[in-house]
Amino acid sequence: MTQEIEAYLQGGSMTVDAPEDIEEALAYSMSQGWGDGLPIIPPTPQRVERMLAYWDRPWNESAGVFAPRDAQILPVQVAANAVMAGCKPAYFPLVMLIIQAMCEAPFNLRGVQSTTHPCAPLAIFNGPIGRELGINSGHNAFGPGCQANATIGRAVRLAMVNIAGAVPGVGDMATMGAPGKYSFVVAENDACSPWEPLHVERGYDPGVTTVTVVAAEAPFNVNDHFSKDAAGLLKMIAGTIASTGANNWYYESNAVVALSPEHAKTFADAGLTKSQVQQLLFESSTIALGDLSTENIEERFRKRDPARFANAPLDTRLTIVQNPADLIVIVLGGLGKHSMYLPTFGATRAVTRALKLSNGRTADSIEDFRAAKR
């Protein structure tokens, strides 16, 4: 297959004589505008072929259209970016799964890619294959130290830039950007959750591997070491959500609350289900219309939705999402009493997608992809 890939690449003038030295390779990739600033592994045809060993569809069969450039999502090109990012070949189906989930219409990838807002695609994995590949769901889940979390998300970002055209300052106009634009991948810590995992809540069987993509901001911490009951903890989390800067006040979208296992236990010990926690947070995390500036009230509410807001008093309450279930609650992280709140881009909805083989069956193990390839 390597010869086929080489012929394809050479036919499209996609091969270069890049330096073998790792430092020179980094300098070369940056000079070509390919990189994210970190060292890359040069994507030789042999390395790309090893990546594609875990893809049971043709390497040149498009998996969709990638905004904003509306480029075809060719596995061979995504595989090259996965090599550059440092992915193990077994991670490749998850890279493709995230990209395909992002390309579903409700996610609004075109907007997510080009906005001035600092959103990045947060990928939340559920199910057995995240565990099989060791995606970190525990201590430092949003932080460094795990190859799967670091490189799967990095491969997605590199593909977003190199294939989809989200070049900073050209196709990606983020005012500030966010650290999650380097990589933003976790698995829910369902082993430490008192409730059903996210993908079950969203209609999937527990044994199915899924990703849920959310165009999220950087996580905002909720430190609460002292509340002894659910009411106190609820007040602390709701107070964190009830800040004026989020896009969510202006759009119908999702927001995410990542509860540490200890905080989730506090709620569960009070007899609360996840949907009850969502309901309580929805009701208690409101802000008043008058908390916003006069101009924002006028432009964002009175002019845009005069039926509801033209004469609404300043003590009218605004909710962070439209329905309690739109507040995505997951359990994440290790020991300690820190939870996190993540607003979103707003003009976007979370998308959950199952990992399936080309025959339509859900994969029980990542090795199913390699076996199906043979």
Question: Tokens 């190199």 map to which residue?
Answer: 162
Query: For residue 287, which phi and psi values (nearest 5 degrees)?
Result: -120, 165
**Is 33 near other proteins (CB under 8 A)?**
no
Closer CB to other proteins, 171 or 194, in the complex: 171
Helices (H), the chain: 2-11, 22-31, 45-52, 75-85, 92-102, 109-114, 128-132, 147-162, 198-201, 230-241, 261-269, 274-284, 294-296, 306-309, 367-373
Binding window for other proteins (CB under 8 A); candidates: 65-73, 131-139, 179-187, 311-319 = 65-73
Question: Minimum Å distance from CB 110 to other proteins?
Answer: 8
Closer CB to other proteins, 172 or 262, in the complex: 172
Sign of CA dihedral 147, 329, 119, 126: positive
**Is 68 near other proteins (CB under 8 A)?**
yes
**Is 170 near other proteins (CB under 8 A)?**
yes
Question: Minimum Å distance from CB 114 to other proteins?
Answer: 6
Residues 294-313, mask of contacts with other proteins (x by CB under 8 A): -x------------------
Residues 6 or more apart whose CB falls under 8 angstroms from that of 223 comprise 236, 337, 338
Closer CB to other proteins, 221 or 293, in the complex: 293
Among 7, 22, 173, 335, binds other proteins (CB under 8 A): 173
**Is 346 near other proteins (CB under 8 A)?**
no
d(CA 136, CA 214): 18
**Is 245 near other proteins (CB under 8 A)?**
no
**Is 171 near other proteins (CB under 8 A)?**
yes
**Is 69 near other proteins (CB under 8 A)?**
yes
**Is 175 near other proteins (CB under 8 A)?**
no
Among 75, 93, 127, 165, binds other proteins (CB under 8 A): 165
Closer CB to other proteins, 304 or 308, in the complex: 304
Question: Minimum Å distance from CB 241 to other proteins?
Answer: 25
The residues in 97-116 that bind other proteins, with binding defined as CB under 8 A, are 110, 114
Closer CB to other proteins, 83 or 166, in the complex: 166
Closer CB to other proteins, 277 or 292, in the complex: 292
User: Can you tell me whether residue 234 is helix, strand or coil?
Assistant: helix
Question: Minimum Å distance from CB 71 to other proteins?
Answer: 9
User: Can you tell me whether residue 225 is helix, strand or coil?
Assistant: coil
Tokens found for residue 156: 């997605």
Residue 286 CB neighbours (<10 A): 16
Cβ neighbourhood burial of 138 (10 Å; 0-12, 13-18, 19+): middle
Closer CB to other proteins, 171 or 334, in the complex: 171
The residues in 201-240 that bind other proteins, with binding defined as CB under 8 A, are none
d(CA 335, CA 332): 10
Question: Minimum Å distance from CB 312 to other proteins?
Answer: 23
CA-based R_g, the chain, Å: 22
Query: What are the CA-CA distances from residue 41 to residues 5, 131, 160, 181, 263 (Å)?
Result: 18, 25, 18, 19, 40
Q: Report the interface residues with other proteins, using CB under 8 A.
A: 68-70, 110, 114, 165, 170-171, 173, 295
